Amino acid sequence: MTKNIEQPSAENPEQLLDLKLSEPKKWAAGIPAVYEAGKDVLGEDGILRGMKGLFHMNKKGGFDCSSCAWPDPDDDRSPIAEYCENGAKALAEEATTKKLTAEFFALNPVADLAKLNDYEIGKKGRIAQPVYLAKGGTHYHAISWDEAFTKIAGHLNSLNSPDEAAFYTSGRTSNEASFVYQLFVREYGTNNMPDCSNMCHESSGVALGDVIGIGKGTVTLNDFYETDVIIIMGQNPGTNHPRMLTALEKAKKNGSKIIAINPLKEAGLMAFKNPQTVPGFLGMSTQLADLYLQIKINGDMALFKAIEKLLYDADQEAPGAVFDHDFIQKNTVCYQEFIDDMLLNDPEELAKEAGVPFSQVKEAADMLKHKSRIIICWAMGITQHINGVDTIKEIANLILLKGSIGKPGAGLCPVRGHSNVQGNRTMLIYDKPYKKQLDKLKEIFGFEPPRGHGYDVVDSIKAMHEGKLKVFFAMGGNFLSSTPDTTFTAEALRKMKLTVNISTKLNRGHLVHGEESIILPTLARSDKDIINGETQFVSCENSMGVVQMSKGVLDPISNAFMSETKIVCELAKATLGKRTVIDWDKYANSYDEVRNIIEKVIPGFEDYNRRVRQPGGFYLPNGPRTGKFETEKHGSKAVFSVNKTINHQLAGDEYMMTTIRSHDQFNTTIYGLEDRYRGVHNERRVVFMNEKDIERAGLKPGDKVDLFNYHGGVERAARLFVVVPYNIPERNTATYYPETNVLVPIDSVAERSNTPTSKLVFIKIKKHEG
C-alpha cells in the first residue's frame, strides 16, 4: 500500500497546543461577537484606520466585504454596522499595517516559513513588493514589476502549447479583473481555468442548470421576509454567513418557521442575539430553528425522499391541497417518472437511513404540507458529496412539487461562500465555456478563442502530476490549503517549472512551489485604487445576483501594490506582445472601459457603468425568479428528476468524517484559535466524536489519535489530533479544514461536477504513537 503522510511538516506537528474546552453555545453573536470583532480590527489596523474601514464596509458607496457573498439589504442597511464578526476579522486581516519587506524575506528561508502553521503564516502581514524565488534558491528576494512580467511571459511563451499552463481564480477577484483575466487567458490560447467554484458550488451550478436552466439561486433577500418556511441544510450560518442571521431573525418576526438540517448541533442554527438591537444587546435571543433534524452525514437525500413520500400520501387524501398540480402541469416535465419512483419508497426506512426519528420527519412534512412559500438554503454540506448534484436535484423536486418558485417568499438558495465567486463565473471564468460565449468573444474582439474544454481544479492537479502542466498561475486564493489530498497536491505543485501567485498576504501556497516562484502583491478590497490620479472602483456579484460597486477607502500600506486588473493587462502585454488584438492599456487605465466592453459580451450588463453607480447596484436577469424556465433539453419547462440514495456501509472500525470551519476562520484564512460556539479553545487539531463511539473504541476524551484514509489503496494520514466528545450522530466525526484536507482523496469527487467530497471522508482512528 502506498503511504501518503500529511504534508508539509507544519501540518504534522510533534506537539499540540494547550487545548481548553467549554460548553458549546446554544446561541450565536451577541456582545462577544462585537468584542471579538473590535479586538481584531484594533489590534491589526489601529483605531483610526480600523474604524474608517468598518464604517465603509458593505455600505452604499463603500467596499464589499472580502469574505462571504451574503447580500446587502436593498434599502434598509444598518446605520450602525453592516458587517458581522467574521467580516470585521476579514477586514483586520487585509487592512493590517504589518508588511513583509525585502528584509523579511532575506531573514526567513522558505523552508523555515513552511514549518509554521497556516495561522502563523497568515499573521505575518501584507506582501509589500513583488518577490521571486530562483531555481534552487532558499529565499524569496525583491524584483521589479517589469522583471516579474518578463519572467512570467518568458515561461508562458516557451511552452510547447498554451495548454501546458493553468490559470486559477479565487472568489474574491472582482468582475473587472475576472473579465480581463479570462480574456488574456483565452487570447493566450487555453481554457485551463480552474476556479474555487470547482471546490464549492459547482454541484449547485450543474444541478440547477439541469433543473431550472440557470446555475444560480432564485430568491432575493426580500423573499426571506415574506416566506412561510425556511429550510437550512448543509450550512452553518452562524460561522460561515453570520449576516444571514439578521435575515432569519426578521423572517421569524414575520411569522416564518425554520427547519435546520445538520449532523452537528450548531449555535447559529439554534438562536441569535442581535447586538444591534436593544434586546440582543441585553442578552435576549431569537429562537431560530423550530425543528432541528440531526441527520447522519449525507443523509439529506433519504430525508427529502421520506418527506416527499409523506407529502404525496397527504395529497392523495386531499387532492390538490398539498401539491401544486396547476404549476406542475404548466411548468414541469418528468413528473410521472418521479412519482413512479417515489411509490417504491418506504418513508420509515428512508428516515432510518437518514438517521432521523420518523416522528420528526412527519413533523417536517406537516410544517410543509399546506405551505407554498418555501425557501431551501444549502451550502458545502450538500455540494461536497459524491451525490451532491443529485441531492440538489432532490431539493429542487420538493420545490417543484410545492410550486415554490417564481413567486415572492419562495425559491432555491445556494448560499455562496466567497464574495464574488458567483461573479467570476458570470464573467466567463470557466473551464467548459459555452459555444455562444466563445462566439461572442470572437465577434467582439476578433480572435479565435480555444474551443476545447480545459482543466478544472481536480483535473489540473492530476495534470501537474502527469507532466501535462508546466506553469501554474493563481489569481488570489490559497490553492494548496484549499484543495484535497494535500500531499498529492503539494507533489504536483513542486513539479511545476513556475508557480505564480497574485496575493495580498503570505500563505502556504507560496511556500510549496515550483522550480521557480513569483508572488505579485495586489490591492485589497478596502484599499484605495488610484490610476493616473483617478480613483477607480470595481464591482462584485453577490449570492442573489446583485451587482454593485466596491470602492476602497484606505491608503495602501505599500506603494508597490498593483490592482489585479492592471496586473493582468500588463502581463498580457508582456506575454502576447505584437500578436495581441486587444488594447490592454485602455483596460488597465480605466475600469469604466472594462465595464463598457463587458456589457457588449455578457447579457444582463446593459448600461453597466450607469447602473452600477446607482446605490445598491442592480439585479441580473433571472428567469426562474419570475417563473420562466429555459432548460437545455426541455425548453420552457423545469425538470423533475429521479435520484437514488446511497447506503454507506462502514467497516467495524471505520467512521464517516466531515470537514468544517471553526468560528475563527474564513475558508482557509485562520483568524485565531477560538471556536467559542463549539467550546474549543487554543487548538484546531481536534476530532469531534460521539461519546458512545469514544467508549466503544476504547478511547477517552482528550486522547491523542491519528486519522487515516485508505481510499484507492493509498494510506493518507493526519497525525496528532485530540478526541473531543460532541453532539454528533454515532459513527460520524468532524474535523477542521485545512488540517484534514490531507485525508480527502483526489479521486473521490461528486459525480458530474468533479467537486472534491470533503464533507464525507471514510476514516479510521488509531491511538497516537509517540
Tens-digit pLDDT profile for residues 78-98: 666 678 888 889 899 999 999
Does the reported pTM lie above 0.75? Answer: yes
- CA of 152: how far to CAs of 15, 113, 188, 477, 586, in Å? 40, 24, 13, 19, 22
Q: Confidence band (pLDDT; 50, 70, 90) for 271?
A: very high
pLDDT of residue 2: 61
Q: How far apart are CA 438 and CA 449, in angstroms?
A: 6
% pLDDT > 70, the chain: 97
Give the residues across from 658 on adjacent strands.
734
Least confident of 273-277, 431-435, 473-477: 273-277
pLDDT of residue 363: 98
Note whether 735 and 688 are within 8 A (CB): yes
Region 492-520: what's the mean pLDDT?
98
Region 513-533: what's the mean pLDDT?
97
For 659-676, write each residue's pLDDT tens digit.
999 999 999 999 999 999
Provide the sign of the torsion angle of the four alpha carbons 243, 247, 250, 252, taken in this order: negative
Note whether 307 and 394 are within 8 A (CB): no
* C-alpha cell of residue 766: 488509531
pLDDT of residue 54: 86
Q: Confidence band (pLDDT; 50, 70, 90) for 634?
A: very high
pLDDT at 770 over 90: no
pLDDT of residue 7: 44
Region 706-717: what's the mean pLDDT?
98
pLDDT of residue 13: 64
Mean pLDDT of the chain: 95
Least confident of 57-61, 114-118, 537-541: 57-61
% pLDDT > 90, the chain: 87
pLDDT of residue 10: 47
Note whether 295 and 729 are within 8 A (CB): yes
- CA of 631: how far to CAs of 10, 377, 410, 422, 635, in Å? 48, 22, 20, 20, 5
SS3 of residue 469 by DSSP: coil
Region 277-300: what's the mean pLDDT?
94
Q: Confidence band (pLDDT; 50, 70, 90) for 8?
A: very low
Region 563-585: what's the mean pLDDT?
98
Among the listed residues 87, 144, 136, 75, the one whose alpha carbon sits nearest the alpha carbon of residue 111: 136
pLDDT at 77 over 80: no
pLDDT of residue 80: 63
Q: Confidence band (pLDDT; 50, 70, 90) for 418?
A: confident
Q: How many CB atoms lie within 10 A of CB 13?
A: 15
Scanning the structure block, which residue is given the C-alpha cell 506575454? Answer: 575
pLDDT of residue 419: 82
Note whether 169 and 431 are within 8 A (CB): no
pLDDT of residue 4: 61
pLDDT at 11 over 60: no
Region 51-62: what's the mean pLDDT?
88
- Choice between 306 and 89, residue whose per-residue pLDDT is larger: 306
Q: How many CB atoms lie within 10 A of CB 713?
A: 7
Scanning the structure block, which residue is given the C-alpha cell 455578457? Answer: 602
Return the ∠ at Cα 196 (arms to 8 and 566), rounded to 5°.
100
Instruction: List Cβ neighbours of 579 (8 Å cut-off, separation of 6 or more).
Output: none
SS3 of residue 393 by DSSP: helix
Region 318-343: what's the mean pLDDT?
97
**Backbone torsions φ then ψ of 717, nearest 5 degrees:** -130, 135
SS3 of residue 103 by DSSP: helix
For 438-496, write each residue's pLDDT tens digit.
999 999 999 999 999 999 999 999 999 999 999 999 999 999 999 999 999 999 999 99
Instruction: Fill in the amino acid letter for 158.
Output: S
Q: How far apart are CA 390 and CA 755, in angstroms?
A: 13
* Cβ-based burial of 21 (10 A; exposed 0-12, middle 13-18, buried ≥19): middle
pLDDT at 1 over 70: no
Among the listed residues 86, 97, 83, 72, the one whose alpha carbon sits nearest the alpha carbon of residue 36: 86
Provide the sign of the torsion angle of the four alpha carbons 423, 429, 431, 435, taken in this order: positive
For 102-139, write each residue's pLDDT tens digit.
999 999 999 999 999 999 999 999 999 999 999 999 99
pLDDT of residue 207: 98
For 32-51, write each residue's pLDDT tens digit.
888 888 888 888 888 889 88
